[in-house]
């Protein structure tokens, strides 16, 4: 008797399509991701990325906006871009489900209201996640780190105005290593990414010159140096 191969059997399954969003922000000086706790099987009680099935009349951009709106005020997001397609035939048990994933960013000064089943988790200390969602989170983290090297995407993590010290902490949290404030200011100013806001904030408890405020020259994504790579100091 002929037995169909596993590959053939898998090929007979209907293929579904879902849209997921890895929403990142800097919170408490750590890069964090938005996750919700599943209330159904499979992977009951595991933490998952916001998302769901692609609607029959939707494109993926429309779908991700709809899915995200169920967990967070999408107007609080400062940047959204398509990340990658995840299509391992066995990424979800007992069904063939392809995922189109997006990267979303929320500024550090924004704290959107969340449902009871949803919270922020440090990317470097993730809980048990559903399916391949940890891999998707790490892909989003790596995309952000790469773009911090060659674009002005830092605007999507920062408040409208900030000190260089504050910006250094944001970049350090996102990149995973300590960034030198003076070097960061020099690099971003040379690329035309930063400009002085013309104001200062009060000096710290130790006195000294009041720190100057800066802002990004554009809050739309721009590629500033396509071949640049930010590295930890010992790799420079």
Q: Where are the domains of the chain?
A: 6-148, 151-235
3-state secondary structure (DSSP) of residue 147: helix
pLDDT of residue 231: 73
Burial (Cβ within 10 Å: 0-12, 13-18, ≥19) of residue 121: middle
The topology under which CATH files domain 6-148 is: Nucleoside Triphosphate Pyrophosphohydrolase (3.90.79)
CA dihedral 232, 82, 25, 78 (to 10 degrees): 120
- Please report, for the chain, how many H helices and E strands are present, in that order: 5, 9
pLDDT of residue 12: 54
The topology under which CATH files domain 151-235 is: Arc Repressor Mutant, subunit A (1.10.10)
Strands (E), 28-175: 30-37, 47-48, 51-53, 79-86, 96-105, 118-122
pLDDT of residue 9: 47
What is the C-alpha separation between 186 and 18, in angstroms, rounded? 42
pLDDT of residue 163: 97
Q: Which segments of the chain have a pLDDT < 70? A: 1-13, 207, 233-236
pLDDT of residue 153: 98
Query: Are the C-beta atoms of residues 124 and 145 closer than 8 Å to each other?
Result: no
């Amino acid at each position: 008797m002929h037995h169909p191969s596993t590959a053939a059997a898998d090929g007979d399954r209907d293929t579904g399509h879902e849209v997921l969003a890895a929403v990142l922000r800097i919170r408490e000086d750590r890069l964090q991701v938005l996750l919700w706790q599943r209330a159904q099987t499979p992977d009951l009680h595991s933490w998952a990325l916001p998302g769901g099935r692609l609607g029959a009349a939707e494109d993926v951009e429309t779908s991700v906006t709809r899915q995200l709106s169920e967990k967070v005020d999408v107007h609080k997001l400062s940047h959204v871009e398509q990340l990658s397609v995840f299509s391992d035939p066995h990424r979800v048990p007992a069904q063939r489900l392809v995922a189109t994933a997006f990267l979303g960013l929320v500024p550090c000064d924004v704290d959107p209201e969340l449902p009871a089943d949803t919270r922020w988790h440090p990317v470097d200390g993730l809980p048990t996640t559903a399916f391949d969602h940890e891999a998707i989170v790490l892909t989003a983290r790596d995309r952000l780190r790469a773009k911090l090297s060659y674009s002005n995407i830092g605007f999507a993590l920062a408040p409208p105005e900030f000190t260089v010290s504050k910006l250094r902490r944001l970049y350090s949290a996102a990149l995973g290593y300590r960034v030198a404030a003076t070097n960061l200011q020099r690099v971003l100013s040379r690329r035309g990414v930063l400009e002085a806001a013309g104001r200062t904030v009060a000096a710290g408890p130790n006195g000294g010159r009041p720190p100057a405020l800066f802002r990004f020259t554009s809050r739309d994504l721009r590629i500033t140096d396509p071949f640049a790579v930010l590295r930890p100091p010992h790799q420079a």
